[in-house]
Amino acid sequence: MTINYNDIEIGNEMPSYTSTPITRTHLVRYAGASGDFNPLHHDQTFVKMIGMKNVIAHGMLIMGIVGEAITSWIGHKYLRKFNARFLSMTEPVDWDDAENTKDRATIIVSGKIVKKFEENGEKKFECEIIAQDALGSKKLSGFFIATLP
Amino acid sequence: MADKSKLGLEFPAYTFIVEKDKIIEFAIAVSQKECKEEINPIYYDENAAKKAGYEGIITPPTFPTSSFFWTGGGLMGTIKTLGIDLGRLLDREEEYEYFGNIYAGDVITRKMKVVDMYTKGKGKRTIDVTILETELINQRGELVIKYRSTLMEI
């Protein structure tokens, strides 16, 4: 499916994307894949030492999930800019209390087209994005700019 | 506290081959899957990528972050160089600019430098900000991706 510039309007929403609840295993996998071994994301003893309760997800994992949301809507080749500001921490699911903790670990990505413009001979649009957990806490806000045929 | 004398510092350039399996590993991690067969085939199957309009197997949008810590002694070495306290470090903002695609098999040179360092706030409630700019240049000398990382110490 290819989206054309003429198919989109300001105010249109990008398809919403919901992540799998993030587990500590996802964090370890992302640490290995990204090379970001900050102990904040996997080592409970470090987390305790700096006065926090739980390990937290990498901001860049949340941005990566948002990247998935974007590229499952428009192709990589159209992406020109991708910005993310990290707003709050994301704690993973506790397996021994999954029912009560899965919502805080589930990331929902949504976005809305705010601008259409031409630049350097390309037809572009800007889409604001928000990632929040299933409890409504905002994790990341940002935008992307893409070109379309 | 970030060492402001490091403003302008360039980390050693790092050249690497974009390995197919590294792309798969990264794509699995950000899509929260368990194996290759569950991810988008444009990340491992050349024919699928070509069908989707690419020259070859492509990389996820935030893939360049995977070479962020490949020089300067990894995370610990990098923050030590910058004078950043690990227990206070937070990633505040990331901005990627795409000028082209990175494909499997590309030879990428990563250049990273400190482009800004400043302190926000007053008295006890100050935040140190360090901004790094990273450029990824392919084997043809083309700048394909540039990104800015805003790190904070709170």
User: Residue B121 sits in which domain range?
Assistant: 4-18+60-153
Quick one: B76 and B113 in the same domain? yes
pLDDT at B106: 98
Same domain, B123 and B145: yes
Which tokens in the block code for residue B117?
A: 């360092």
C-alpha torsion sign, points A77, A83, A88, A89: positive
- How many angstroms away from the CA of A48 is the closest CA of chain B? 11
- B72 CB neighbour count, 10 Å cutoff: 19
> Based on the structure, what is the number of domains in chain B?
2
Q: What is the pLDDT of residue B125?
A: 84
Q: How far apart are CA B119 and CA B91, in angstroms?
A: 15
* Global pTM value: 0.96
Residues B85 and B147 in one domain: yes
A-chain CB neighbours of B52 within 8 Å are 75
Residues B114 and B145 in one domain: yes
Verify that B54 and B118 share a domain, yes or no. Answer: no
* B142 in the same domain as B89: yes
pLDDT digits (tens, 9 = 90+) for B55-105: 999 999 999 999 888 877 888 899 999 999 998 999 999 999 999 999 999
A129, A110 contact by CB (below 8 A): yes
Residues A30, B30: C-beta atoms closer than 8 Å? yes
In a shared domain, residues B113 and B137: yes
**How far is the C-alpha of A7 from the C-alpha of A17, rounded, in Å?**
20
> pLDDT higher for B2 or B136?
B136
Task: Report the amino acid identity of residue B18.
Answer: V
* Closest Cα in chain B to A65: B30
CATH class of A6-147: alpha beta
Q: CB-based burial of residue B7 (10 Å sphere; 0-12 exposed, 13-18 middle, 19+ buried)?
A: middle
Dist. CA A27–CA A37, nearest whole Å: 10
Radius of gyration (C-alpha) of chain B in whole angstroms? 17
Hey, where are the domains in chain A? 6-147
Q: What is the pLDDT along chain A (149 residues), one digit of tens a residue?
A: 578 999 999 999 999 999 999 999 999 999 999 999 999 999 999 999 999 999 999 999 999 999 999 999 999 999 999 999 999 999 999 999 999 999 999 999 999 999 999 998 999 999 999 999 999 999 999 999 999 98
H helix runs in A35-133, sequence order: 44-49, 59-71, 98-101
Interface probe for A, chosen from B31, B32, B38, B85 (most Cβ of A below 10 Å), is B32
Residue A84: list chain B partners with CB under 8 A. Answer: 93-95
| B65: DSSP letter | G
Contact list in B for residue A61 (CB cut-off 8 A) is: 29-30
* 3-class state of residue A8 by DSSP: coil
Whether residues B97 and B141 share a domain: the answer is: yes
Instruction: Using DSSP, state whether A85 is helix, strand or coil.
Output: strand
Whether B123 and B84 share a structural domain? yes
Mutate to test the interface with B, among A48, A82, A139 (most CBs of B within 10 A): A82
B65 in the same domain as B51: no
> ∠ CA(A76), CA(A82), CA(A86), 5° rounding?
135
B41 plus B111 within the same structural domain: no
* Claim to verify: residue B136 and residue B65 sit in the same structural domain: yes
Q: Which has the closest alpha carbon to B96: B47, B62, B57?
A: B62
pLDDT of residue B35: 96
